[in-house]
Structure 1
Amino acid sequence: MKKQLTKSIRKIVYLSVLIVSFISCDDLPVDTKGELAAEQFYSSVADIESGTLGVYSVLLDKLFANSENYCHFWAADDRTAVTGSNKTFYLEFDQMVPLATNAWQTNGWNQLWEIIGAANTFLDNEEQMRSFVEGEDLELLERSLGEVHYLRGLIYFELVRTWGTVPLITSQADITGQEPLATFDAIYASIIDDLTYAKNNLGPTSVNGTYRANKWWAQSLLANVYLTSAGFPLKKTENYALAAAEAKEVIDNGPYALEGEYGGIMGKRENNLSENGNTEAIIAFPAFVPLDGWSAGNYQAEAILFGDKVVEKTFYANFPEGVRKDFTFDNVGGVIQYSKEKFGEQDFGSVNKDINYLRYPELLLIYAEAQIRATGNNSDPSALSALNAVRQRADLLPLDSATWEQVVWEKAWELAGEWTRWYDIIRTETLDEVNAIRSSEEPAQLSSSPTLTESFPWSPIPANDVNINPNLAK
């Protein structure tokens, strides 16, 4: 981990701006020479913007483009692993016995820490940057700080939901490589602080690029953080009301809406944010093939292309019939896969489809669940309105009463194969329930001695890191 953190300065200063056309202006000056220290680099307004872009560049360099970094999603019930070949890295999670030597999961861990290091390096230089900005340039600095705080909050949210307790490092100064594990309380408090800062310092419109963070991105993610922290393992149930409040403000005042038909939500290039073709993508990342050669692109489409993303039979059988089910799945020779219509086809050699990280229907369902839990009212009108908006598009009958469990299942179906299901299973403590109804016909059978359990659902921290830093052992 220390290696990933300490090389972040080089990433910020020297990383190629292949993604400039996506997230920033075309004429940004980028230093590509010599060994330039961070304190020398952050000496002009142009450096502030280049440094911000550098953090995004680390974020987009493979992380959200490759399914290999997300083996833990195969522990959920909305997908199952096939056996053989290199699929064993997914299979470990599907069978609930992930190894600390899982090379693909280790890649994701390393890349997340690299982004934390890049963000910390930028934020460590706040005082220096404030020493030379004035007037209109101060607005640019505040916006850049907001963006980087957002990015750090996003990445720590990924870390804590996947690996559980991890070190909490918010500065690159005095890193020893022997940092201890932080508590869930401390990690979530830091995430909330970062996203609150971002919400308060970013405007409602992305600046210098479609895929740059704005107020709505930060606030929507904050709603999800509050919802998650209200469940397992932190169980700060007072945060349900905070989640509902943050989500409701975006629903009432943000620029988002449900697309009238499923074909308009994702899967085609015209649905990309850069094409202004999607009204419900709140947080999305551009898939830019030159960043990662042959394997770049929407990791979800990639998983379909290589047969990595097969649907668990019980999940498919329980999925409500209708237009949403038809849109979500393809039957390929009797094998149920996620559809190319929803996730798109992999097209090597050119820009692919966006990676949709948080869509508007997820925010509606975050609100519905949080409001029901906060009020204790299964007939809350505003919660039912949000829930039924999602159901209406699926041609399902509206509900006049709903439990939070019904909302979570609605979310499982609406967002099947996307980013949410495994994390929802963890926070709602329903892994035993989900595993109990898994099909016995699947090639991947649950281990008789699982190490991934309802009470300890965390990916193992990579063995090499634990060997270097025994404080990471759990």
Structure 2
Amino acid sequence: MNTRYSLLVTLLGAILMAGCQSLEEDPKGSLTPGTYFKTQADLDASVSAIYIQFARDGAWGFTNRSTSYFGSDDFTTDPGLNKEDFRLFDRLSGGSGNLSLVAQWQGPWQGIYQANNVIANYAKVSSTEVLKNQAAGQAYFLRALGYFYLVRTFGPVPIILTPIDVNDRPPRDPVDKVYAAIISDLKKARELLPPSFPNQPGKANQMAARSLLADVYLNMTGWPLNQTANYALAAEEANSVIQSNQYNLNTPYATVFTTNNSSESIFGLQYNVGGGLPLRSAGSSSVPLDEVAVNGSSGWDDYYPEINFYKNAPKCSRTDDTFYTTIKLRQPDGKTFKLVPWDSPETHARHPYYKKFRAGLNGDGVSETATSIASINPSTNKVYDIIRYPLVLLAYAEASAMAANGPTAASYNAINLVRRRAGLPDLTPGLTATAFRDAVVYERAYEFAGEFGVRWFDIVRLQLLPKIIAERSPEENPIPANTNINQKYLAPIPFNEMTRNPAWVQNEGY
């Protein structure tokens, strides 16, 4: 049995042994610390279970993890079919009863509750301090990761840092306090974790904690907190990762999305189809319904970019590797294919698609040549990178420029590293701080096109909805004329959660 498969079997076994919690589940059904947390193996299994909670299909393993992020210009979906949950948020009309939204809520909470169990009990384990601290550091990182996505998606949420009783109904805490808890956890993770875990992909290390902390500080500079003093803190944390020299952009852009744990992967969720933990946001999910493989499998048409987002992309090799613009239509003989452009009347959606999410791991998603498709699979073994090194470089570029009231040579170098790998010339020198920031935001939009909320969170913190709506093609799913854009930066709390917590007040506009 290979090492990765063995690890995933251990992870899956751990979740079955460990159980889990969420705001929808009975917390009493979680681990029993007195009988479980005894050895380092027990502790490691419990930490593994946290990763599983985030990675599973009902959390971040499928496209529904991005449901409310469909308000972004790098996401749209089919005007018909069974895509109503995604389409409503694409039209900025999603509501609290949206069933796909539940994954965005439950996934982080289940991870947070599992992390709380580990943090509350790791010190009792009979083991070395180094190993116990490494386990706890990962739990602190993962708890912070969960809260970071929750607070940016839903706004105020309860800060729950210890195991709670099933009957508890904690209040929603203000956004600034949630961020304070996230920062505290990441500082603790930074303290406890080693700089790396050699030959152990998927384990959060100190550089992952620093990278996430940089992103946290950067997000705090914008809406709703507008704490611009945090630019300097974001730059400091990002720079510490850069100076570590652990990561680089030597892997070609296209290869990042067809292989696992590349030279730029700082933190990624690991998947294994054979182990019962598939990634299903690659492969079929990002393939047009029009495409049918020789074996009869077809695309799901779940997500693709808006037309003008594609048209506004820079002309470079990264754009070629990002977007899929020639659709393969299987002919009546079942073996040959007709190639048509994305806007052909022979296609029903008339949109470009994402090329970078098709293949999965070396073709275990879509197996194809330039002129034919052998098979289209919905379950892949591809790692999903939550933090890639370009995210750190671009965070440093923006934060250092804004902190210094203008870009430094190091600011330019950081963004130019990303641009050079993309096949673009160096950025124009002499830009003002604001113009440079806008250039970084544009760069991030296309470096991370379609990647788990990256573009949406820039739209939120910089309040960009009016701009992207103005640039939206009339061919997109229509946004109702009376939509209050200012109320669409946060998603609604799911209906079931509001019912369970009658003292909570729903987000404005829902």
Q: TM-score, normalised by structure 2?
A: 0.80
| Cα distance in 2, alignment partners of residues 406 and 208 from structure 1 | 36
Is 1:404 matched with 2:437?
A: yes
| Cα distance in 2, alignment partners of residues 350 and 462 from structure 1 | 27
Pick the aligned partner of 1:288 from 269, 272, 277: 272
Q: Which runs of 5+ in 2 are unaligned?
A: 20-28, 288-299, 328-341, 344-349, 367-376
Write the letter of the residue equivalent to 2:235. A
Deviation per residue, 1:386-438 (Å, 9 max, x gap)? 11111122232212134211110111011111120001100111111111111
State the number of aligned residues: 440
Task: Note the C-alpha offset of 1:45.
Answer: 2.8
Pick the aligned partner of 1:363 from 392, 396, 411: 392
The alignment partner of 2:496 has SS state of helix
Write the letter of the residue equivalent to 2:475. E
| Equivalent position of 1:441 in the other structure | 475
| Equivalent position of 2:225 in the other structure | 234
CA 1:104–1:27 in 2, change beyond 3 Å: closer, same or farther?
Answer: closer
| Cα distance in 2, alignment partners of residues 27 and 221 from structure 1 | 26
Is 1:44 matched with 2:39?
A: yes
Is 1:96 matched with 2:131?
A: no
Q: 2:144 touches 2:185 (CA, 8 Å); kept in 1?
A: yes
Write the letter of the residue equivalent to 2:309. F
Deviation per residue, 1:347-367 (Å, 9 max, x gap)? 649752111212111211111
Pick the aligned partner of 2:383 from 331, 350, 354: 354
Q: 1:338 touches 1:417 (CA, 8 Å); kept in 2?
A: no
CA 1:372–1:300 in 2, change beyond 3 Å: closer, same or farther?
Answer: farther
Is 1:330 matched with 2:324?
A: yes
Write the letter of the residue equivalent to 1:246. E
- The aligned runs of 1:430-469 (5 Å cut-off) are 430-442=464-476, 444-450=477-483, 453-454=485-486, 456-469=488-501
Q: Identify which of structures 1 and 2 has the higher relative contact order when contacts are C-alpha pairs closer than 8 Å and 6+ apart.
A: 1
Write the letter of the residue equivalent to 1:58. Q
Deviation per residue, 1:427-465 (Å, 9 max, x gap)? 1111111111111122x01122335x3455111001111
| Equivalent position of 1:78 in the other structure | 74
| Equivalent position of 1:180 in the other structure | 171
| Cα distance in 2, alignment partners of residues 417 and 211 from structure 1 | 21
| Equivalent position of 1:272 in the other structure | 260
- The aligned runs of 1:78-157 (5 Å cut-off) are 78-129=74-125, 132-133=126-127, 137-157=128-148
Task: Note the C-alpha offset of 1:175.
Answer: 5.6
Is 1:59 matched with 2:54?
A: yes
Task: Note the C-alpha offset of 1:23.
Answer: 5.9
| Cα distance in 2, alignment partners of residues 392 and 31 from structure 1 | 46
Task: Note the C-alpha offset of 1:32.
Answer: 4.8
- The aligned runs of 1:243-322 (5 Å cut-off) are 243-259=234-250, 261-266=252-257, 268=258, 271-273=259-261, 278-290=262-274, 296-305=278-287, 306-322=300-316
Q: 1:23 touches 1:208 (CA, 8 Å); kept in 2?
A: no
| Cα distance in 2, alignment partners of residues 146 and 284 from structure 1 | 16
| Equivalent position of 2:290 in the other structure | none
Is 1:344 matched with 2:370?
A: no
Write the letter of the residue equivalent to 2:414. A
The alignment partner of 1:299 has SS state of coil
Is 1:394 matched with 2:378?
A: no
CA 1:234–1:337 in 2, change beyond 3 Å: closer, same or farther?
Answer: same
Identity of aligned pairs, percent? 31
Q: Which runs of 5+ in 1 are unaligned?
A: 1-17
Task: Note the C-alpha offset of 1:280.
Answer: 1.0
Write the letter of the residue equivalent to 2:42. D
The alignment partner of 2:385 has SS state of strand
CA 1:319–1:351 in 2, change beyond 3 Å: closer, same or farther?
Answer: closer
| Cα distance in 1, alignment partners of residues 186 and 318 from structure 2 | 33
| Equivalent position of 2:26 in the other structure | none
The alignment partner of 1:439 has SS state of coil
Root-mean-square deviation (Å): 2.6
| Cα distance in 2, alignment partners of residues 79 and 64 from structure 1 | 17
| Cα distance in 2, alignment partners of residues 148 and 260 from structure 1 | 29
Task: Note the C-alpha offset of 1:472.
Answer: 2.7
Write the letter of the residue equivalent to 1:235. N
CA 1:208–1:471 in 2, change beyond 3 Å: closer, same or farther?
Answer: farther
CA 1:343–1:454 in 2, change beyond 3 Å: closer, same or farther?
Answer: farther
Q: 1:229 touches 1:239 (CA, 8 Å); kept in 2?
A: yes
Task: Note the C-alpha offset of 1:170.
Answer: 0.7
Task: Note the C-alpha offset of 1:264.
Answer: 2.5
Task: Note the C-alpha offset of 1:375.
Answer: 0.7
Deviation per residue, 1:160-199 (Å, 9 max, x gap)? 1111111111111346342111011110011111111111
